[in-house]
Amino acid sequence: MRFIVISVLIALIILSGCTKKLPPLEEPINPPCDTCNIDTLAIACSDTGATGYFPSTVGSWWAYKVIKGTNLTSDSNQVADTIDMWAETTRVVNDTTWINTYYGGPYSGFQDTFYVFIRGDTIYLNVKYNFKPPTDTNTIPININAPFGIYPLIYPLSWETPWDTLPPTNYMNDTAADTIEYKLSANVINDTVVLNVGSENLCSQKVKYIIHVHIIYTDGFGNGLTLQLPSFMFWIPYKGIGRRLEIDLRDTTGGFPTRWLQKDLEGYNILP
């Protein structure tokens, strides 16, 4: 039961977001794929601003092919096997809301809402959840602002949020209130990857994210649990996210989420 409850709690801390529209910039030419490296990205992305680098114009959309697997390859660039496939789209529906829709697969018809905004050189995710633990009648609110990307995404940039704490309550169905702390850390990896998007070969920058979760059980024994949930995003400057690698938090087969999702950009329409 404890692992099931922990899985639900972790699923809460999926970052979701939304972007405030700022004046668009002219879209620069992407670095050629045969020289895709840290240096060419740095040259191509200099002095253009976060709004051009992280496109967010209302009406823009991105279409992804999703591959579900059990593990990642040794370089953490893709899933190592395939156990299911489906499609997803992400649309900017207004100045503050993005909608992710699932087509086919186990979550067909589901939608996730993301709240995103840009401040200065940073794109933020505003996380707002109301969570009701399955063993409690209290509703637990979570509200944090987390940097999702900082312009320009160039190695060795890194950042993290402060620890935040949920109000103590009996999350684990023990005899007293428990405490859950969480934070996000991000690291721009010294790695660029050429991604094929339709008929284009586009250079992407790899970024690793980790959601850190610390659970303290107030059970009289001082027990606790620390978890790290990694994910990887491959940002294509001025195009958006070209690939996402993340744990499928909805799949708790075996009591704890361990399977990976690879989401590859197949098409997009970015409005000026």
What's this model's pTM, rounded to 2 decimal places?
A: 0.80
Residue 48 in this model has a pLDDT that exceeds 80: no
Three-state DSSP state, 238: coil
The pLDDT mean for the chain works out to: 78
* Strand-by-strand arrangement of the 116-119 sheet: 116-119, 122-131, 140-150
Confidence at 23, pLDDT banded by 50, 70, 90? very low
Comparing 254 with 142, which gets the higher pLDDT? 254
Q: Is the pLDDT of residue 137 over 60?
A: no
d(CA 142, CA 144): 7
pLDDT score of 129 more than 60: no
Nearest C-alpha neighbor of 54 from the set 22, 87, 14, 32? 22
- pLDDT at residue 231 above 50? yes
Residue 64, pLDDT > 60, answer yes
Share of the chain above pLDDT 70, in %: 71
Please answer whether residues 162 and 182 qualify as being in contact, where contact means their C-beta atoms are separated by less than 8 angstroms: no
φ/ψ region of 63 (left if φ > 0, alpha if ψ in -120 to 50, else beta) reads: beta
Tokens of 89: 């789209």
Cα separation values, 4 from 13, 49, 169, 243, Å: 15, 43, 17, 29
117 falls in which pLDDT band (50, 70, 90)? confident
Worst-scoring range by mean pLDDT, 88-102, 191-205, 213-227?
213-227
- Mean pLDDT (whole number) for 181-207: 90
| Closest alpha carbon to 10 in 117, 174, 137, 166 | 166
CB 43 within 8 A of CB 31: yes
Higher pLDDT, 5 or 266: 266
3-class SS of residue 240: strand
**d(C-alpha 260, C-alpha 69), whole Å:** 5
